Structure 1
Amino acid sequence: MTALTLSTAGAATLRADAIVVGVAKGAKGPVVAPGAEAVDKAFDGKLASVLETLGASGAEGEVTKLPVLSGLKAPVLLAVGLGPVPEKDATYGAEPLRRAAGVAARALSGVKKAAFALPVEASEDVEAIAEGALLGAYAFTAYQGGEKNAKKGDGPKQPLGEVALLGAKPRDKAHKAAAERAIALTEEVNRARDLVNTPPNDLTPESFAAVATAAGKENGIKVQVLDEKALAKGGYGGILGVGQGSANPPRLVKLAYTHPDAEKTLALVGKGITYDSGGISLKPAGHNETMKCDMSGAAAVFAAVVTAARLGLAVNVTGWLALAENMPSGTATRPGDVLRMYSGKTVEVLNTDAEGRLVLADALTRASEESPDAIVDVATLTGAMVLALGNRTFGIMANDEAFRTSIHEIAEEAGEASWPMPLPADLRKGMDSPTADIANMGERMGGGLVAGLFLKEFVGEGITWAHLDIAGPAFHEGAPYGYTPKGGTGASIRTLVKLAERTAAGDLG
């Protein structure tokens, strides 16, 4: 785990294995960003010219490494691009700093200590740089190398060991609070990434529930786990129907964080399909390999509740993890079967690969019984949303336009790409069933919106609700970029935590 320290030491005097500076893209070439004045002085004020000679332009995400011959205690200089020089009286902004810090942390994998001399003008900059560095330094190595190979030095390359954040004052309350928030948030985002990346033979509904139970004990969160017997007794037909084809039975986990000064309650519901084969409606070849990520919504909810507890937010946050494994077998739900849901409604299952909405429906109904001020569900729900918004943007649907807008704004502030999506009433008719109250499939076109309309049916009357479809950004299959690694990303967690903070401050949206 990468450590973070705040330091008022000068960039020229701090002992580190590498020093990181920012470079912006100016009209006439690269411009050394604030925070790197002492480093520039060590190059006789010609650092920008040296970097330009080496091909640097200051473009976002660009990395230039060069040795330091004299004037600095660090033997290596890493210049990272921040993008365009800000306009007059403007700052670089949180997201460019976050991304630059992430790029630098990844580029310095294996280094013991690096000093980050990026622009710091306010506590928001401290938080952004800390977040980016700690998220960018993430690596999932649990299944690589092995103990014997590690002793030989053949194990996986370890992440950056320590980040010293220059310009951040350890005795400044705002700077210290910003760093502490960043540490708590990124540790939980990275734990969620670990869960998403864990192979499905090791992460089952039962073992996921055990992780949540242990975290609850550590952080003062009440945890309740409903096993298959309790689910059957309670009538959770959706969760049971999805999980009945697997040798690993389903679970519904409730995490409840409460604060004595809380005036509002936020309920978060997460889809937790620990592996999705599609069931009897088996996925085609090429679509199964990454389906361990289908529990990313539950991982996000879990991380958000734990982060709220660690930050001591004055809001009650309840998390519901709907956990199941969707497998084909002689006991699996068949297309054409009818399930009686926890709400009492019946659902005709036309496609067993539209299973996420079934487990979420039961959890949404159960969460509604406690009359929270708002419910937000998170799920890798539809391929249609990926087709609509791509791999880096999640969709937001809601039964309240102002709430949908608020979440979109919060996501933007948190640095997560999202887009408001409609819930067209005319698409509801496509889910009419001649046999049951509703079918789990509707029109093919607008499939992501159809799924949202299905979930809306199971939200309690009068409760503000939003649905985040994170199917695109939850699992990244390409090369790492910014602070985003290959594999599980922890999508939507930062948005959920900021929503909880806004709610604690009296602004639910």
Structure 2
Amino acid sequence: MSPVSASTAYPSPTVAVASALPKRKVASSVLIVPVVGGSEDDAAAKVVANPYLDAEAVGEIEVALEALGAKGGAEQLSRVVAPSLPVDSVLAVGLGKDRDTWPADTIRRAAGVAARSLSGVETVITTMSDIDLEATVEGLMMGSYRFTAFRSDKTAPKDTGVRKITALTPDTRAATKEIAARAAAIATAVATARDLVNTPPSHLFPAEFAKRAKALGESAGLEVEVLDDKVLAKEGYGGIIGVGKGSSRPPRLVRLVHRGGNNQARTRGADSGGGKTVALVGKGITFDTGGISIKPAANMHHMTSDMGGAAAVIATVVLAAQQKLPIDVIATVPMAENMPSATAQRPGDVLTQYGGITVEVLNTDAEGRLILADAIVRACQDGPDYLIETSTLTGAQTVALGSRTPGVMGSDEFRDRVAEISQSVGENGWAMPLPEELKDDLKSTVADLANVSGSRFAGMLVAGTYLREFVADGVQWAHIDIAAPAYNTGGPWGYTPKGGTGVPTRTMFAVLEDIAASG
């Protein structure tokens, strides 16, 4: 039995809002305060004005910061003691130069950096929430994330980590608490996606992945359907079956349905997006060796993340249900393991995708588009207004856009809408074109399509062009390629840890909210 439950392996902190500092000292606590640089380059850091600290406390903090030589540079951290405050210590986090307003992601990242630095602290109190409550809560919670499920007592962290966050805000009415609760729910969904990505393929194979998706879905009240390999073969899911043929662990297809459209009349106005249906599709390759077209050994272990799209889709539809979005959201999640064996599909084989299109498999390492195509056709049978699908699709995404910027392809208007929303939440999706001439590169001499082109250029766009062939007419569609952004192979930064990042959970949920609000 796996040591990781269907819920997050690292429990999320609880979040509360308050209008003042506690009157008595709080054990194992830290106060996080934002600071800025002075008007001169060599000026000491200054505490950002807020109503929670009196002149004595501000003076204590600024004197200590000056003694440390802290300048308030962006995301610079300084730990000091302020005897007049009811906490063990104060953690000052720099926001850079003083300004009237800060972008939400500046606050989010600063909060994340602060949270990542904390060890042996159970309670965090912060005045950053006076600038942006939502961004502060998200940043603190995402920065607090740890994945320790497979650590023995010998190497597991000795401290329990942050267990409680108190966000200081002058307005503690119910609406404000709802903002904090929504931010906490989003961060928890990101943690769920991260947990799934970080779980090694020895413990997260298609059947187990489907089991966890079902448990998460049922816990949120979703309708759940799981198709095993026998049903998939019978119903003609040739892409999923073809990719899974080389593994001893057969594939699955999971369907998770949130029926929120009936909430529209009592929760939204006449101009809302109530009654809309959104399909979500995510690539769930639990491990990708490349199959017969095998990958190089170096860094192949990173392919534990090749189900990052599926993880984000599962987390997003569960979050949509928890937040009672007044739209229907239907997730279709194909799951397979791409392995080389005597039963694996071969370069040159022809398979039939769900819906009837035949495909010549020229490269078995271009397997994600094969399982996604089956899922896209099935998702379109539900008659959605919008389709969002995401995957760790191509190494070409990394070549084109780097490790932190997802590529967004699709129908022009919806693609641009998704990219803009992605940038607004700090996941920074970038709109990419799908030139018509690329379809010619996917011609096959023996089948309707080839799964790769003969050119090494525009690999991300060619993959998007392939997927477009399976999207039903009239469906507004966007694909988010997260090949690198789903899994951080470098050092942690901002609120992003090493390993699974949870991208693009926040993008997809924000798009769902936008559709729910405006159609």
Q: Normalised by the size of structure 2, how large is the TM-score?
A: 0.92
1:10 Cα deviation after fit: 2.6
Which of 364, 371, 379 is residue 359 of structure 1 equivalent to? Answer: 371
Which of 134, 142, 145 is residue 138 of structure 1 equivalent to? Answer: 145
Deviates more, 1:240-249 or 1:107-116: 107-116
User: Which amino acid is 2:111 matched to?
Assistant: A
C-alpha contact (below 8 Å) 1:12/1:72 kept by paired residues: no
For 2:54 and 2:150, the matched residues in 1 are separated by: 40
Which of 102, 117, 138 is residue 107 of structure 1 equivalent to? Answer: 117
Aligned equivalent of 2:5: none
For 1:36 and 1:337, the matched residues in 2 are separated by: 69
For 2:90 and 2:62, the matched residues in 1 are separated by: 13
For 2:415 and 2:66, the matched residues in 1 are separated by: 45
C-alpha contact (below 8 Å) 2:258/2:321 kept by paired residues: yes
Matched ranges for 1:207-222 at <5 A:
207-222=208-223
1:13 Cα deviation after fit: 5.5
For 2:124 and 2:352, the matched residues in 1 are separated by: 57
Deviations 1:270-325 (A, max 9, x none): 00000000000000021311111000000010011000000011011111111000
Which of 465, 485, 498 is residue 477 of structure 2 equivalent to? Answer: 465
Which of 154, 158, 161 is residue 160 of structure 2 equivalent to? Answer: 158
Which of 399, 403, 413 is residue 391 of structure 1 equivalent to? Answer: 403
SS, match of residue 213 in structure 2: helix
Deviations 1:141-175 (A, max 9, x none): 000024xx59xxx65543212111112644x1221
User: Which amino acid is 2:373 matched to?
Assistant: A
Matched ranges for 1:77-96 at <5 A:
77-86=90-99, 90-96=100-106
Aligned equivalent of 1:51: 65
Deviations 1:15-34 (A, max 9, x none): 35211110123422323113
1:52 Cα deviation after fit: 3.6
1:14 Cα deviation after fit: 5.8
C-alpha contact (below 8 Å) 1:239/1:323 kept by paired residues: yes
User: Which amino acid is 1:302 matched to?
Assistant: I
C-alpha contact (below 8 Å) 1:375/1:464 kept by paired residues: yes
1:37 Cα deviation after fit: 5.7
Deviations 1:72-111 (A, max 9, x none): 111211101122211xxx3223111111111111111331
1:116 Cα deviation after fit: 1.0
For 1:40 and 1:488, the matched residues in 2 are separated by: 42
Deviations 1:391-440 (A, max 9, x none): 011000012x2211111111122121111101011111111110110100
Matched ranges for 1:324-343 at <5 A:
324-343=336-355
Aligned equivalent of 1:64: 78
C-alpha contact (below 8 Å) 1:126/1:168 kept by paired residues: no
C-alpha contact (below 8 Å) 2:26/2:88 kept by paired residues: no
For 2:284 and 2:340, the matched residues in 1 are separated by: 17
Deviations 1:423-467 (A, max 9, x none): 011111111110110100012111000000000001111211111
Deviations 1:8-66 (A, max 9, x none): 223776635211110123422323113376165225x3633532431322222211112
For 2:517 and 2:77, the matched residues in 1 are separated by: 39
C-alpha contact (below 8 Å) 1:340/1:346 kept by paired residues: yes
C-alpha contact (below 8 Å) 2:64/2:80 kept by paired residues: no
For 1:469 and 1:479, the matched residues in 2 are separated by: 21
Structure 2 residue 196 is matched with structure 1 residue 195: yes
Aligned equivalent of 1:434: 445
Aligned equivalent of 2:270: none
Structure 2 residue 466 is matched with structure 1 residue 451: no
For 1:156 and 1:290, the matched residues in 2 are separated by: 27
SS, match of residue 289 in structure 1: helix
SS, match of residue 473 in structure 1: coil
Task: Report the number of matched residues.
Answer: 492
For 1:472 and 1:478, the matched residues in 2 are separated by: 11
Aligned equivalent of 2:423: 412
C-alpha contact (below 8 Å) 2:278/2:330 kept by paired residues: yes
C-alpha contact (below 8 Å) 2:284/2:308 kept by paired residues: yes
C-alpha contact (below 8 Å) 1:22/1:36 kept by paired residues: no
Q: Which stretches in structure 1 are left out of the alignment for 5+ residues?
A: none
User: Which amino acid is 2:115 matched to?
Assistant: A
Percent identity over the alignment is 47
C-alpha contact (below 8 Å) 1:95/1:128 kept by paired residues: yes
SS, match of residue 505 in structure 1: helix
Relative to structure 1, the CA distance from residue 46 to residue 214 in structure 2 (aligned partners, 3 Å threshold; closer, same or farther) is closer
RMSD: 1.7
> Structure 1 segments of 4 or more deviating over 3 A?
11-14, 46-50, 154-158
Relative to structure 1, the CA distance from residue 9 to residue 291 in structure 2 (aligned partners, 3 Å threshold; closer, same or farther) is same
For 1:247 and 1:110, the matched residues in 2 are separated by: 44
Relative to structure 1, the CA distance from residue 48 to residue 225 in structure 2 (aligned partners, 3 Å threshold; closer, same or farther) is same
For 1:25 and 1:42, the matched residues in 2 are separated by: 18
C-alpha contact (below 8 Å) 2:393/2:481 kept by paired residues: yes
For 1:372 and 1:40, the matched residues in 2 are separated by: 57
Matched ranges for 1:16-31 at <5 A:
17-28=29-40, 29=43, 30-31=45-46
For 2:209 and 2:115, the matched residues in 1 are separated by: 29
SS, match of residue 38 in structure 1: coil
Relative to structure 1, the CA distance from residue 196 to residue 398 in structure 2 (aligned partners, 3 Å threshold; closer, same or farther) is same
SS, match of residue 422 in structure 1: coil
Q: Which stretches in structure 2 are left out of the alignment for 5+ residues?
A: 1-10, 265-273
Aligned equivalent of 1:251: 252
For 1:317 and 1:483, the matched residues in 2 are separated by: 28
Relative to structure 1, the CA distance from residue 108 to residue 35 in structure 2 (aligned partners, 3 Å threshold; closer, same or farther) is farther
